[in-house]
Copies of this chain bind each other. A is one copy, B any other.
């Protein structure tokens, strides 16, 4: 099994060396060995990084993401948590959809003041008061 330098990981994943080192520092990933000082990664790390990027885009924090992997680097989440997370994501999707609808409304509605347009108000109401959402998408 051929090992990869940090530079290759960067090339193939788009994740910067400084970020990879940071992820290691916080325990999110680890390199298999060192060649001299240099970190050597197994190719599987690339899959893991894909997952990490996906979860980040989904608004999960690094520590939440870390919690999704077991010791052996396997994705391992108790069923119940999966259900919860899936619900959380569905919630986010609803919010995003509401936001998109509002934008489309603004694009199409001829009313001079959206702020008072009843259908606009309705959309806002509809989107409001569900539950919190977690953390933050990146600027990668």
Binding site for B on A (CB under 8 A): 44, 47-48, 50-51, 53-55, 57-59, 73-75, 77, 79, 82-83, 85-86, 89-90, 92-93, 95-100, 102-104, 106-107, 113-115, 121, 124-125, 127-128, 132-140
User: A96-B93, A137-B136 in contact; A47/B79 too (CB < 8 A)?
Assistant: no
Give Cα A83–Cα B124 distance, bound, in whole angstroms.
Answer: 20
Chain B proximity of A126: nearest CB distance (Å): 10
User: A104-B86, A107-B82 in contact; A137/B92 too (CB < 8 A)?
Assistant: yes
Residue among B106, B113, B115 making CB contact with A77, cutoff 8 Å? B106
Instruction: Report yes or no: A82 in contact with B106, Cβ–Cβ below 8 A.
Output: yes
The 8 closest A-B pairs by CB, nearest first: A136-B136, A58-B99, A57-B95, A50-B124, A133-B137, A89-B100, A82-B107, A59-B137
Supplied contacts A54-B98, A93-B93, A93-B97, 17 more A-B pairs, CB within 8 Å: A47-B124, A48-B115, A50-B128, A51-B124, A54-B99, A58-B95, A74-B113, A74-B114, A75-B106, A86-B104, A89-B99, A89-B103, A90-B100, A92-B96, A93-B100, A135-B139, A136-B136
* Chain B hits for A133, CB < 8 A: 57, 137-138
